[in-house]
Amino acid sequence: MSGSKKRGSGDRGMHVKVKTAAGRRESSTRWLSRQLNDPYVRRAKIDGYRSRAAYKLIEIDDKHKLLKPGYRVVDLGCAPGGWCQIAVDRVKSTVDSPKVVGIDYLDMDHVRGAVFLKKDFLDDDAPAALMQALGGHKPDVVLSDMAAPTTGHKQTDHLRTTHLFEIAIDFARRNLVPGGSFLAKVFRGGTENAMLQELKREFKSVAHLKPPASRKESPELYVIAKGFRGSDLPED
């Protein structure tokens, strides 16, 4: 798989109009229409990716070069596996020498070259299980596309996803190799700037970004932190 060309753009598929069927809520009709008319959804099926989210990582990595051959990667909240697919390809992870470990409480079909832990990352023993799956090696990159199930209440959704972000960065602080990178989802809500300032003390470069594959109407942003300075915190 190559992520070098700009994917999801230039799509000329015909617009599909979805009628509201009996028993189907209007919100469900809107979701179905958005999926059917999303060029990234169509492209994911053609390219064999598990989800359109794969293109977010492709676009970010094409620009920021997080994933390099030989790197070890932890993918938090990895289901359905789109990010795992990209990570496996770009770090050249294999069945005999897996360098990508994903974790999620949801089921996920096997991604060849990755190790999958069906487990809630919020469990106390989850960090240790991840490190064991990496053979005791520290990861070069920690990825997190985790988001709490949305409630429709903007501030509540922001706070719940922020909590997941904070747990993800704590794992990264304790386990990343010096010089390592961290990429994670946050929702706009007023606290993301404070988080950036905190991370700037621990990483050489920190920024937030919104890749083209992220829907314009979505409140999601991604925080990217590179050049981990190291930590005195105990490992998990």
Catalytic site positions: 185
Using CA atoms, how far apart are residues 221 and 209, in angstroms rounded to an integer?
Answer: 6
Residue 69 carries which side chain, given as an amino acid letter?
Answer: P
Using CA atoms, how far apart are residues 31 and 48, in angstroms rounded to an integer?
Answer: 22
Tell me what percent of the chain is helix, strand and coil, each rounded to the nearest 5.
Answer: 35, 15, 50
Residue 159 burial (CB count, 10 A): 14
Q: In sequence order, what are the beta bridge partners of 207?
A: 224
- Residues 59, 115: contact at Cβ < 8 Å? no
Using CA atoms, how far apart are residues 57 and 84, in angstroms rounded to an integer?
Answer: 10
Residue 195 carries which side chain, given as an amino acid letter?
Answer: M
